[in-house]
Amino acid sequence: PSGSPPTVRLVVLGAAAVGKSALILRFLHDRFEHKYTRTVEELHVLEYETPSSGKMRVEILDTSGSYSFPAMRELCIRHSDAFGLVYAVDDPGSFEEVRRLRDEILELRGGKGAPITVVGNKADLTVAEGRELLAGEVMATVEGGWDANFVEASARTGGNTVGVFRALLQQVNLPHRLS
Ligand code: GDP
């Protein structure tokens, strides 16, 4: 119906404990909780407006912990409009998981294309505090080699969490979805 805003489906994927839920919580409510809560699957729905694309209904799927449901993951990969692949800057293994997820997404989507934003979370951590992945190096791989978006953010400080979702929404081709 022409009266209702278009729906945009975002999915947030990544290894356990990289801060997927924390990023979403920060974006939605500007809060951060230290307690680690295992999420099985949570869908957040909100209305969002940008000057360029107007009002839209945004669905954000938090997949934290859902690796035990591969069929569900496959379904959401097929039906999403943009993908946030999150790693933590102190966890090189979580970046390897981002690589695997990207491969899986590209394979499942076939020719449909996959708008991917890679998110380096926990950007508040310094090298002394455990940071192992440097933004410049990851950016070269992601923006140069993969042709995907790259952002760093910190759910803890709130730094650039809006930028994460702005990058995701920028990749969605709204007019295409309306047709
Ligand atoms: P998820 O499993 O990917 O959803 O991860 P959570 O959102 O549950 O976060 C996992 C852990 O990382 C929690 O203990 C959070 O407090 C911590 N965490 C999340 N975001 C950040 C961040 O930006 N900086 C730091 N230093 N810790 C974070």
Q: With beta carbons less than 8 A apart as the criterion, state whether 63 and 11 touch.
A: yes
Closest to 88 (Cα-Cα) out of 138, 136, 123: 123
The model's pTM: 0.90
Is 108's C-beta closer than 6 angstroms to any atom of ligand 1? no
Q: With beta carbons less than 8 A apart as the criterion, state whether 55 and 36 touch.
A: no
**Ligand 1 atom having least distance to the Cα of 125:** 26
Q: With beta carbons less than 8 A apart as the criterion, state whether 16 and 68 touch.
A: no
132 is written with which tokens? 């192992």
Angstrom CA distances, 137 to 3, 120, 132, 171, stand at 45, 12, 11, 22
Centre of ligand 1 from the C-alpha of residue 68, in Å: 20
Centre of ligand 1 from the C-alpha of residue 53, in Å: 31
The residue with tokens 């978006």 is 149
pLDDT tens for the 179 residues of the chain, in order: 557 888 999 999 999 999 999 999 899 887 777 655 555 558 888 888 877 778 889 999 888 755 556 777 788 888 899 999 999 999 999 999 999 999 999 999 987 779 999 999 999 999 999 999 999 999 999 999 998 999 999 999 999 999 999 999 988 876 544 43
Stated length of the chain: 179
